[in-house]
Amino acid sequence: MSQKKRWYKRFFSFLKEVKAELKKVTWPSKNEVYTTTIVVLIAAVFFGFYLFFMDIIFSWVIAQIKSLFA
């Protein structure tokens, strides 16, 4: 029985520490979240297209090299 009390004491102590740490966090503003989300989406689209076209170019180059030796 004493082990369960110890376990619960540790658990509630942990929750108190988590609450205290969350009060120290500096949360971003709504505008910061919006702008960084837009930047991430633009970067993801850009790199998606970049990798797509690089894949097409490298596939074409490999096909040309294969056709020389086939």
- For the chain, the structural domain boundaries read 2-69
State percent of the chain over pLDDT 70: 93
Tell me the C-alpha distance between 64 and 70, whole Å: 10
Q: State residue 70's pLDDT score.
A: 76
Tell me the C-alpha distance between 58 and 66, whole Å: 12
- The model carries a pTM of 0.63
